[in-house]
A and B are shown apart, each in its own frame.
Chain A
């Protein structure tokens, strides 16, 4: 009985973990690689959810078309954010860029509160909330679909970074900016593209989660914090680490919430971060250390 419950909690945790992983992947690009402490990340996620709602419910578009449009819009928005806000601060300390993203976050939350209101929105998908039963575990069709889609997005991003010319240029830029520039890579455009990709991934995560739970303008703060936690758990800029970190956080939270107490569920991520950095100041899956 307890084992069955544990199994169910684990599956629930893996579902949430998959979304943590997806939104954290975007942040691992922006925070881990570009070293921009992006407090507006949760707002990118939120914008994805709200846009997704308006495109499906108000304009009546197909779910997949909606995701494609959200990716394009939010990618463009990410590029714009980099161009207008981050590029002038390139080379400044992380304090400065963190502050500009805090300003952006305040602006986005409150503007969307005015535009979209406080009401939670649910995004309709072609998949029913019909439960599927595997032995002791129950999971809805919509969740299975969302997790699969999320996994596909993660895989696509992985291919983009590892196999394409653009991905190669990105990796080169973040390894050695000057050398990359000398090799003829337009470094500024790569930075812009990285932020675009990060924002688009956060937004897709927002659409998918909006189809399972709800999309709301004020959700961003918690999402940003969770994404930071996952990125640190997984190691800055590590793709596999972010996926693993997301799943670990999701499962631990779900098990803790199920067996111990739901009130302290949100502490786990922060406690893990504090513990891990005390024991391994360089992060869980990283080896080199810089600080004296």
Chain B
């Protein structure tokens, strides 16, 4: 089994027992938010970490998912199974359209245009009062309710919400794991490392990037649907830049281009924001400084730090290999260019 899968299963087995150990409702709330953000950050990571494109419009899919779920639950009275499906579909379609339009653009343009899409959606949700109720948002979204014939089940306690969020995280991570370690995921990484080399071996950059883009959008939409049912309120701020900055920071601090990174980032940021409350006024200033420090000194995040330490000890043990010519096939998912070069040396 791969290292990464082991860590993921380890995290899961710890998480399953958390509601038994944790009795405080507020801490449970933080854990639920950490699960939500883990799904969201992981979905962004597909695009930022594996395809290597900076999409700043990821809140578009979060928001579409949240609004789709909230609207179908409040005005159509659908249960959570349907609302999540509708949210995933709506966000996936948006991802397909936006991805198809933007992935042909050059780096800086891509950044701004994806951001523009999210901003347009934010302004529409703020003004289209007939549907979105404008700045007032949609309140009173019903809690999750499962209706499986004889088995009726309503999610209401924090522990139940936690297991629901955890289940979503497991589904998301499983799907992303399958994607990342499939040929498609390898192709996406090849594109990230070198567009030209990828093309020369027959990888169509646009097609693989689009698949990853849609996958990311779908899971952001699902996260949005969970958010709508858990918070019970959806307003225009789900399209806002603060969600975008938060998930980006999570991906970055944890380690982009790894499956474990965004999860660690999500947990860390959710709890860090909480514990920095002690210094209320300046906590966001400290946050900004932390982001700068991480980018400057730990560009591969915490996961990268661990790898760097392990590599150092490996190097001390092993004798140098004869050098071979690096090839794209030697670039495994989750490796940066430097690490691939290291491995191929």
Which residues of A pack against B, CB within 8 Å?
31, 35, 37, 85, 88-89, 92-96, 98-100, 102-111, 114, 221, 225, 228-229, 232, 236, 261, 263-264, 266-267, 270-271, 273-274, 277-278, 281-283, 289-292
Q: Give A98 to B115 CA distance when docked, in angstroms.
A: 13
A94 and B111 contacting across the interface, CB-CB below 8 Å: yes
B104 at interface by CB-CB < 8 Å: yes
B272 at interface by CB-CB < 8 Å: no
Chain A min CB distance to B262 (Å): 14
Instruction: Name the contact of A93 in the complex, choosing from B52, B113, B285 (C-beta under 8 A).
Output: B52
B111 and A85 contacting across the interface, CB-CB below 8 Å: no
Pairs across A and B, CB under 8 Å, 26 listed: A37-B108, A37-B111, A94-B54, A94-B111, A95-B48, A95-B54, A96-B299, A98-B54, A99-B248, A100-B291, A100-B296, A106-B288, A108-B288, A228-B115, A229-B112, A232-B109, A232-B112, A267-B119, A270-B116, A270-B117, A271-B120, A274-B113, A281-B104, A281-B106, A290-B106, A291-B105
Instruction: Name the contact of A102 in the complex, choosing from B106, B117, B291, B299 (C-beta under 8 A).
Output: B291
Chain A min CB distance to B138 (Å): 18
1/0 per residue B84-128: CB within 8 Å of A?
000000000000000001001111110111011101100110110
Q: Give A179 to B235 CA distance when docked, in angstroms.
A: 53
B289 at interface by CB-CB < 8 Å: yes
A292-B117 contact, Cβ under 8 Å, with A98-B54, A100-B295, A111-B285: no
B289 and A107 contacting across the interface, CB-CB below 8 Å: yes
A105 and B288 contacting across the interface, CB-CB below 8 Å: yes
Q: Give A274 to B60 CA distance when docked, in angstroms.
A: 15
B136 at interface by CB-CB < 8 Å: no
B295 and A106 contacting across the interface, CB-CB below 8 Å: no
Q: Known A-B contacts: A96-B295, A107-B285, A271-B120. Give 19 more (CB < 8 A).
A: A85-B296, A94-B54, A94-B107, A94-B108, A99-B248, A99-B295, A102-B248, A103-B288, A106-B285, A109-B284, A110-B288, A111-B282, A111-B285, A221-B241, A263-B123, A274-B113, A274-B120, A291-B104, A292-B205
Contacts of A228 in B (CB 8 A): 112, 115
A110 and B299 contacting across the interface, CB-CB below 8 Å: no
Instruction: Name the contact of A106 in the complex, choosing from B56, B123, B284 (C-beta under 8 A).
Output: B284
Which residues of B pack against A, CB within 8 Å?
48, 52, 54, 56, 101, 104-109, 111-113, 115-117, 119-120, 123-124, 126-127, 195-196, 199, 205, 241, 245, 248-249, 252, 281-282, 284-285, 287-292, 294-296, 299
Contacts of A271 in B (CB 8 A): 116, 120
B282 and A98 contacting across the interface, CB-CB below 8 Å: no
A103 and B108 contacting across the interface, CB-CB below 8 Å: no
A273-B113 contact, Cβ under 8 Å, with A103-B288, A105-B288, A106-B284: yes
Contacts of B241 in A (CB 8 A): 221
Contacts of B108 in A (CB 8 A): 31, 35, 37, 94, 236
Q: Give A89 to B284 CA distance when docked, in angstroms.
A: 23
- Top-8 shortest CB links A-B: A107-B288, A103-B291, A106-B288, A110-B284, A270-B116, A263-B127, A103-B292, A291-B106
Chain A min CB distance to B208 (Å): 14
Contacts of A229 in B (CB 8 A): 112, 116
B126 and A104 contacting across the interface, CB-CB below 8 Å: no
Chain B min CB distance to A35 (Å): 6
Contacts of A236 in B (CB 8 A): 108
A281-B195 contact, Cβ under 8 Å, with A98-B54, A99-B291, A107-B285: no
Chain A residue nearest to B109 in the complex (CB): A277
A292 and B196 contacting across the interface, CB-CB below 8 Å: yes
Q: Give A257 to B109 CA distance when docked, in angstroms.
A: 27
Contacts of A94 in B (CB 8 A): 54, 107-108, 111
B291 and A274 contacting across the interface, CB-CB below 8 Å: no
Contacts of B195 in A (CB 8 A): 292
